[in-house]
Structure 1
């Protein structure tokens, strides 16, 4: 590292100054530039080993994301130079896209100094674009995440990248998509995996329980406080704290939580002594991020604290090809639980599952398979054994002849194809895989529906 030349390209002058001060004792030379349009010229004149490149600039080039544009330029002209992308909070999707386009790694600002130095060292260790291995060597199919669809492959890739960091992560998704499973997987793939993993449903805590449950209390703090008790923050010290349904807490609770996160210390009820805590925070909510940004509902300063990075968990209707895998998994589980020996699901059962919209997501699928296992006396699950949850607001009505008219079926197919194409930004291979079609078959349908 002492022999390396590092170029930092960012339009934030304060960041350039901080980078120069940090890197100067560790590398041979530090070059800084605020104008990305000078990047190629600098590389032509200087033997640069690593480029730290911001994802976004206020430049004249209207690409939607200048970082990706300049990344492609650097990699096409200087393929042996490693590029580390600098990204702001919440832009993990763009950062992952940059990795697929040749970046060595990415780092989130504001970064931790040791983490930045380690990332640069990892890039220098190889004379080609590097992707740091998962330090825990966890295979993709562990920790209960089931799915081979393109959208789940992308999710797994993001988890592999963000889990080893210390970044606070906000997990977004509808009810029943498995946000708690994602949180557990992040912890298991993190550097804190040997330490405590503490989960708390903060959305269910009343105003009176919120402080005592999270921050603890001293003996005599209130009527029933007969002994000292640690809160969830202290129990998670050194490990990971997962706050589920964080979008449902009140503004008063948010203020108390923000204070703890800023100070990295808790003050138990009945005490004036603060206790330092070292936790990695994971949060989850079914409230869309745009709704959280409404300050009458949620404090923006708290969003920035809990949302260094965000992970969007897809609803089941966007990963239809995973339904048979999930169904077989739940069948195996409930066979064991209820001492059954049901061999599998018949084609009509799988077809019925794949055409249902699952407003309750994976949780509703699990319910449907459990009920089918309990009620079935046959050696396999048939379509008639599959019943969907009456709890969900959207119900599937019995199809009539009109519903299955040629016009309606074609319209359903057209919408499904358009949705897949939009979801993968026109990537035919991924859309075809998601729809269970060949590329040729998908092209024929695109022509048929004039898409």
Structure 2
């Protein structure tokens, strides 16, 4: 028995408690025993057991097991994730079924077989550790709610009003959503708003940047692993899909998935269960999927680089986020919003923008979209010594970009992506880390884009 933890044993027979204490002490981190069910709340709040071994029948009612079920109800009210194993000398199928239905983890009979009891407790400890880790990570995900995460989707343009209307229309549904849009348009913010205005508002929101996960780590990151599944797996770890169960899973850059990884993701989505690396038993999951990409997945399906059946699974609703160059006066609304934030952050007192500066922002093509505008305003606030930002505070790379492109050919996503990458590389002087920051992606994702675009 490899797992060690804290166990609380509740039984009205002191001889049983003595025997179990003697048996389990070498295998457990700590053992506490009590003959008094009334002490359950005390031990759960002070001792915090990993597993509770609970007698089903007490002297008051030695056969029906009702007193044990009452104790189980009390335990689960204190901790709904508690791992409870029932034990009784009057084991029968009906009691076992009822025990599991009412929240018990397992059922053992007295007298016990040592090896079977130890195996049952070992499995229970693993389950307890897994539940606690998942609970902790879910709490961390919920704790990540910030003002930015739930900030208003700024913009009054017709294109953005349509996006907002769609988000509110979807507020009562669990449908899978595919968010389409260029890099920097705010797909992650839209995903968080979709979660916030949904039936799963209070549940976990787990995000994965699929463009930054090396293929060899995909399964362990998404599905988790058991202790010993590979060389560095010193303890079991739940995957992102398991952590997101009951809530929302945001798969960013889903267009970057290779075909083998697409197949594995599709299997998990279709079967509603995952298998940790090194595990035998699958784990049931219940997640709402929100995916995002800047790629044309329908074209990818046509050329065979994206599975059609996976696309059908993830795009019950498609939501397109417009590029900044199509949003008109929203550019100035966003600029004022970022200006306020960076004034506060850097303790500056920039009052606004001159008319000429506003015109310059409106004429610029914004290949990096909202993210580029945000970095542009931040840089201007840091470097400016004036009370108003002027055109000189916005040194865009080339004059040729200071007018809007209206040619349909220039709206091709791949060409725009190429231009954005080339511009970022020029602006950063070839520094990959800085270029990736300007684009709002990881170095790994940037390498993949450079390879894909043949740059």
TM-score by structure 2 length?
Answer: 0.55
Correspondence 1:301 to 2:309: yes
2:388 aligned to 362, 365, 380, which one? 380
**Does the 8 Å contact 1:199/1:243 carry over to 2?**
yes
Segments of structure 1 that go 5 or more residues without pairing to the other structure are 1-140, 400-408, 420-451
Q: Could you give the per-residue CA deviations for residues 388-412 of structure 1, whole angstroms, max 9, x where no partner exists?
A: 3x5xxxx43398xxxxxxxxx9xx8
The 2-side partners of 1:202 and 1:398 are apart by 31
2:280 aligned to 272, 279, 287, which one? 272
Question: In the TM superposition, what is the alpha-carbon distance from 1:144 to its structure 2 partner?
Answer: 3.1
1:262 aligned to 266, 270, 273, which one? 270
What secondary structure does 1:190 align onto? coil
Could you say which residue in structure 2 is the equivalent of 1:358? 366
The 1-side partners of 2:308 and 2:272 are apart by 19
Could you say which residue in structure 1 is the equivalent of 2:399? 396
When residues 178 and 398 of structure 1 are mapped into structure 2, their CA distance, relative to the original with a 3 A threshold, is closer
Correspondence 1:339 to 2:347: yes
Question: In the TM superposition, what is the alpha-carbon distance from 1:197 to its structure 2 partner?
Answer: 0.4
When residues 222 and 240 of structure 1 are mapped into structure 2, their CA distance, relative to the original with a 3 A threshold, is same
1:230 aligned to 235, 238, 242, which one? 238
**Does the 8 Å contact 1:265/1:276 carry over to 2?**
yes
Q: How does 1:90-105 map to 2 (within 5 A)?
A: none
When residues 191 and 143 of structure 1 are mapped into structure 2, their CA distance, relative to the original with a 3 A threshold, is farther
Between Structure 1 and Structure 2, how many residues are aligned?
260
- Considering only CA atoms, is the larger Rg found in Structure 1 or Structure 2? 2
Q: Could you give the per-residue CA deviations for residues 255-289 of structure 1, whole angstroms, max 9, x where no partner exists?
A: 00000000000100001211001110000000023
When residues 295 and 269 of structure 1 are mapped into structure 2, their CA distance, relative to the original with a 3 A threshold, is farther
**Does the 8 Å contact 1:372/1:387 carry over to 2?**
no
The 2-side partners of 1:397 and 1:168 are apart by 40
Could you say which residue in structure 2 is the equivalent of 1:152? 160
Q: How does 1:64-103 map to 2 (within 5 A)?
A: none
Could you say which residue in structure 2 is the equivalent of 1:215? 223
Could you say which residue in structure 2 is the equivalent of 1:292? 300
**Does the 8 Å contact 1:144/1:181 carry over to 2?**
no
What secondary structure does 1:241 align onto? strand
The 2-side partners of 1:231 and 1:398 are apart by 44
Question: In the TM superposition, what is the alpha-carbon distance from 1:142 to its structure 2 partner?
Answer: 6.2
Could you say which residue in structure 2 is the equivalent of 1:182? 190
Could you say which residue in structure 2 is the equivalent of 1:199? 207
Q: Could you give the per-residue CA deviations for residues 39-77 of structure 1, whole angstroms, max 9, x where no partner exists?
A: xxxxxxxxxxxxxxxxxxxxxxxxxxxxxxxxxxxxxxx
What secondary structure does 1:397 align onto? helix
What secondary structure does 1:357 align onto? coil
Could you say which residue in structure 1 is the equivalent of 2:336? 328
**Does the 8 Å contact 1:200/1:243 carry over to 2?**
yes
Could you say which residue in structure 1 is the equivalent of 2:325? 317
> Which structure's residues are more often helix, by fraction?
2
The 2-side partners of 1:235 and 1:387 are apart by 44
**Does the 8 Å contact 1:170/1:283 carry over to 2?**
yes
What secondary structure does 2:344 align onto? helix
**Does the 8 Å contact 1:143/1:184 carry over to 2?**
no
The 2-side partners of 1:142 and 1:260 are apart by 29
What secondary structure does 1:211 align onto? helix
TM-score by structure 1 length?
Answer: 0.55
The 2-side partners of 1:398 and 1:183 are apart by 30
Question: In the TM superposition, what is the alpha-carbon distance from 1:295 to its structure 2 partner?
Answer: 5.3
What secondary structure does 2:388 align onto? coil
When residues 327 and 398 of structure 1 are mapped into structure 2, their CA distance, relative to the original with a 3 A threshold, is closer
What secondary structure does 1:257 align onto? helix
Q: Could you give the per-residue CA deviations for residues 354-412 of structure 1, whole angstroms, max 9, x where no partner exists?
A: 00011111111111101100100011111111123x5xxxx43398xxxxxxxxx9xx8
Q: Which moved more, 1:159-168 or 1:314-323?
A: 159-168
Q: Could you give the per-residue CA deviations for residues 282-314 of structure 1, whole angstroms, max 9, x where no partner exists?
A: 000000233232252100000001111110000
What secondary structure does 2:225 align onto? coil
What secondary structure does 2:178 align onto? strand
**Does the 8 Å contact 2:352/2:388 carry over to 1?**
yes
